[in-house]
Structure 1
Amino acid sequence: MITAVIRSATLVASLFVAAYAHAKDIERGKAAFRKCAACHAVDTTTNKVGPHLGDIMGRTAGTVEGFNFSPAMKKAGKDGLVWDETSLAEYLAAPKTKVPGTRMAFAGIRNDDELANLVTYLAALPELP
């Protein structure tokens, strides 16, 4: 009985720590997004220099209505590029490698922790402000 209680308490504590770490990553990702905010909005309607990112996960590349994507990004979408955590991390690390010919002028994020936190933040949108 005591062993079961200890196991349950350990499980609850582990879940709390994991949830706290996840929230911390999202906050760091939100801070990392400051680099992106000049060109991108996190809502689901506002296009700036770049397309909105509020509903990016699961979206086919080059398909935001009202945004004029580069031919390269449109082709990437037609060729099957759909944004998920892996494809987005690859793109944000090296945009011109992932989609040669993209118009995005950003060179990429080289810090793995910053990249992971940014992708975590973007994955949580549009639920977050």
Structure 2
Amino acid sequence: MEIKDYSLAMRDLNEVYKISQRIKSPKDESNVQQSYVLLYTHMKNYKKADIAAKRHDFIEDSLLNVEKIALVKTQDTLQVKKSITYQQKTYKSQLKQKDSLIVMLICAVGVLCIAVFVYFVFKRKKRKK
């Protein structure tokens, strides 16, 4: 069944178009432009149908660009997180190495102190004899 009351359809589309602009919904606005194309084509007003088709294409391209930008930002965020995680692991590894070195130095100083103590104890015993 085909609609013959194009003025009513036009008013309805105009109202939906205003609403889509008011709520800032580019996807809905794109759908409205596509509906304008269909309506103008039925009305045999091909010039306006072409203009509406170009608006529809422009909005769709904009939506794709927004999606691409969001994807790039997401990828950048993931790379930054990976980089931070790598830096944190590297830092922790360096801390472990420093901690190991400190423990080894403390043990060496302890052994040295024990050796010096034993040396003086034996030296003292030799003097007493």
Q: TM range, normalised to the smaller chain? A: under 0.3
Which structure shows the higher helix fraction? 2
TM norm structure 2: 0.28
Structure-1-length-normalised TM-score: 0.28
Larger radius of gyration: 2
